[in-house]
Amino acid sequence: MRRGSNNLPSTGTWKTIFKIAWRNVVRHGKRTAFTIITMCFGIGLYIGLDSIFKGMDKAGLENIINLTDSSVRISTDKYEAERNSLPLDYGLSKIPELEKYIMSNDGVEAITLRTRFLGQLSNGMDSIPVTGIAIDPVTDPKVFTIPKYIEGNWFSENSQANEIVLGKRLAGELGAGINDWIILSSRTKYDTQNADDFLIIGLIDAPEVSLNTHGMLLSFKDAEEFLDLEELRTEIAVRMKNRINIEDLMKDSKIVAQNIQKEFPGLSAQSFEEVGKQFLEISKSKSKATGVIIFTILLIAGVGIANTVLMSVYSRIREIGVLRAFGLQRKDISKLFLVEGAIIGVIGSLAGVILGIIFVSYLIFFGIPAEKMMGSIDMTGLYMGKIIYGHWSTKTIIVGAIFGFIVAVFAGSFPARKAAKMEVTDAIHFI
Amino acid sequence: MEKILELENVVKTYTKGDEKINALAGVNLSITKGEFTALVGPSGSGKTTLLNIIGCLDSPSVGNIFYNGSLLSNLTENELSDYRKEHISFIFQSFNLIPVLTVRENVELPLVIEQKLSKEEIKARADDILKAVGLKGKEDRFPRELSGGQEQRVAIARALVKEPFIILADEPTANLDSHTAEEIIDIMKNINSTRNATFIFSTHDLLVQKHARRVITIRDGFIHSDAKKEE
């Protein structure tokens, strides 16, 4: 059986090129292994770091939704403009009408009213500034999951005493515990200073630094008198029905926020995405930083591959000459070394993906004990829960593998070109 | 006798800096099928350049080269490569086997590159030639598992497997002891006579020269003498 001759390598030639490339990769096991380990480490680290950062992003957004601001946060424009100082002013009006409208939106599950204020907690010796939130103890747990993280008790409807719940770390700083009395001081709605004793009924030990270190809750029942609130409510927090994908929840929340702003001019309705804007910006910077790290590692791996293949070229000059003498063209020689780079790339990428998957699996199931590792460092804007869990991303794994492979082929292309440029007469040293 | 190779006034000039070196200064040569020819001469005489040009690894600066009547002097590098692939084979002084391929794979390599025969035909051809060079039973060994003489036999088998017009050998016995060298010459001679394969080899080895039926001496880029021995 005769086959037509053409300039393209046949399956048999490809098979031989692959066979020679593969066996050379195996033959120089040590230097190949070093290159593969570098690649594996680079890709594995990329997948792992991305998993941590994505996990932190997800947990950070979940904290906004579940612990601090809810899916949609509504207040007046004026209040929003002065939010940083948490004024006891610019309260919401026509609240029943507003509540009715919000609940009529698709996807809204529950709402609650809140009033934030600035205060000081003192144990008689030391005082610490706190962010107080006056809440409705009945509706608040329908929107926020804070009671899940309470040590001690939640507010009881019939309690006669002034009760507060505060961050566990904050209580620790004050040397206070459950059933201890503590002095809360704050300016009232009428800008007069007020102070009173409060009974600590619970401690918040949530995966949210701001709540743990300077968060404090009290019921509207106690806040009315203490702050002279006179029914002042500065914000409405909205819980949306759960969606498996956080991006879908983001869309739902955005629609509700837009509807409210349209219907009630003068109100500021912000979805959790907008609330977490600063947080997400930091997250983007983290991704860029990760990109730089990974690029550097893969650059090192790329140089390693180029070096490995180049060493292979130099140690096989005669072989190149022989293959050229027997009729392989320059481009075929180039392919031989490109395949060698590609084989290293495939093995390195696969090993990196496997390492990455192991790393991510560990992060998903066990997480990183961030609190133990970093103590009480407050990294503003970054999620710093007790344990940081990883997030699975198939896209990242595929991108990591493809990127690693491309780097390998690209790195292999330089020595491959060098091999192809060799003059056959010089290469074989004879003829 | 059938002429398979003809060189007409072949000149090869290299430039080294400002200096021009005439490696071949007008060579006229005919080779007929089945020749067993030795190229001899001192180092730098032009043997290597002549073998380069005969082997289509290089083109002459001036002059013509005909293979089986076809003019090859003006072919491009890729066309020369294709021509080599089908019609010319090489045996190297250092054997130059591919270390990661087995004996069989090394021998089959030119046919795989040539892309003309089926897998079964390639295998049959390789079996046949390996038997002819006395390497039956060693097909699955790697070059590192062979002696120098066995490696050169593989190189001969690899050169012969595609039944080329011409086999060019560069000092084929230079790296072998005298006993093994004699064995290799016997094999080449045997193949030359039984298969009518054409051999041209450059050599300094008097033993090889003794067995050659034609000895061409080159000096300073010219053919100094061309002696044919009577059978």
Tens of pLDDT, residue by residue over A24-79, are 888 888 888 888 888 888 888 888 888 888 888 888 888 899 999 999 999 999 99
Cβ-based interface (< 8 Å): residues of B facing A:
48, 51-52, 55, 57-58, 77-78, 81-82, 84-86, 89-90, 92-94, 96, 98-101, 105, 109-110, 112-119, 121-122, 168, 170-171, 202
Partnered with residue B7 across adjacent β-strands are: B29, B65
Q: Is the pLDDT of residue B135 over 90?
A: no
Is it the case that residue A351 has pLDDT exceeding 70? Answer: yes
Query: Taking CB atoms and an 8 Å limit, are A12 and B99 in contact across chains?
Result: no
Mean pLDDT across A174-190? 93
Minimal Cβ distance to B170: which of A327, A328, A431: A431
Backbone angles phi, psi at A129, to 5 degrees: -65, 140
**Is pLDDT at A279 greater than 80 in this prediction?**
no
User: Cβ contact (<8 Å) for A425 and B92?
Assistant: no
* Stronger pLDDT, B115 or B101, i.e. the higher one: B101
Share of chain A above pLDDT 70, in %: 93
How far is A338 from chain B, CA to nearest CA, in Å?
A: 17
Per-residue pLDDT for A205 more than 60? Answer: yes
Residue B215 φ/ψ, nearest 5 degrees: -125, 115
Most confident range, picked from A311-315, B114-118, B165-169: B165-169
Tell me: pLDDT of B165 over 70. yes
Question: Percentage of chain B with pLDDT > 90?
Answer: 25
Residue A198 confidence class, pLDDT cut points 50, 70, 90: very high
Q: Which residues contact A6 (CB under 8 A, 6 or more apart)?
A: B115
User: Which pLDDT value is given to residue B31?
Assistant: 92
Average pLDDT over residues A131-136: 95
Please count the CA atoms within 13 angstroms of the CA of B165 that sit on its side-chain side.
21
pLDDT for A152 equals: 93
Half-sphere exposure of A423 (CA within 13 A, CB side): 10
Collapsed DSSP state (helix, strand, coil) of residue B190: helix
- pLDDT on residue A3: 38
Return the pLDDT at A382: 54
Give the pLDDT confidence of A290-326 residue by residue, as tens digits: 778 777 877 887 888 888 888 888 888 888 888 888 8
The phi, psi pair for A141, rounded to 5°, reads -65, -15
**pLDDT, average across residues B5-19:** 88
Q: Considering only residues A142 and A426, tell me which one the structure prediction assigns the higher pLDDT.
A: A142
Average pLDDT of B33-56?
89
Average pLDDT along chain A: 86
Spatial CA neighbour of A202 closest among A144, A147, A143: A147
For the ranges A283-292, B77-86, B144-153, the maximum mean pLDDT occurs at: B144-153
If you average pLDDT over every residue of chain B, what do you get?
A: 87
Nearest Cα neighbor of A419 from A349, A322, A281 is A322
Helical H segments across chain B, by residue range: 47-54, 77-87, 103-114, 119-132, 148-160, 178-195, 206-211
Going by their DSSP bridges, the two strands A193-204 and A181-187 should be labelled as antiparallel
Whether A1 shows a pLDDT value over 70: the answer reads no
The answer to whether A329 faces chain B, any CB pair under 8 Å, is yes
What is the per-residue pLDDT for A385?
65
Q: How far apart are CA A52 and CA A42, in angstroms?
A: 15
- Residue A158's pLDDT band (boundaries 50, 70, 90)? confident
> In this prediction, what percent of chain A has a pLDDT beyond 90?
42
A11 interfacial to chain B (CB closer than 8 Å): no
SS3 at position B90: strand
Averaged pLDDT for residues B90-109: 89
Average pLDDT over residues A103-107: 92
pLDDT of residue A268: 94
Q: What ipTM does this complex have? A: 0.86
Q: Which residue has the higher pLDDT, A126 or A8?
A: A126
pLDDT value for A7: 47
- Read off the pLDDT band of A128 (50, 70, 90): very high
Q: Output the pLDDT for position A256.
A: 94
pLDDT band at residue A430 using 50, 70 and 90 as cut-offs: very low
Please tell me the distance from the alpha carbon of residue A285 to that of residue A297, in angstroms, as a whole number. Answer: 18
pLDDT attached to residue A417: 87
Q: Is the CB of A23 less than 8 angstroms away from the CB of B114?
A: no
- Across A14-28, A104-118, A313-327, which has the greatest mean pLDDT? A104-118
Looking at the complex, does the CB of residue A33 fall below 8 Å from at least one CB of chain B? no
Residue in chain A closest to B92 (alpha carbons) equals: A430
For B179-228, how does the pLDDT look when each residue is reduced to its tens digit (9 = 90+)? 888 888 888 888 888 888 899 988 888 888 888 999 999 998 899 999 88
> What is the predicted pLDDT for the residue at A312?
81
CA distance A332 to A274: 56
Q: What's the pLDDT at A10?
A: 60
Residues in chain A with CB shorter than 8 Å from the CB of B99 are 27, 319
Q: What is the pLDDT of residue B133?
A: 84
Closest by CA to A47, choosing from A294, A217, A318, is A294
Give A36's contacts (C-beta < 8 A, 6+ positions apart): A344, A347, A348, A351
The mean pLDDT value for B18-24 works out to: 86
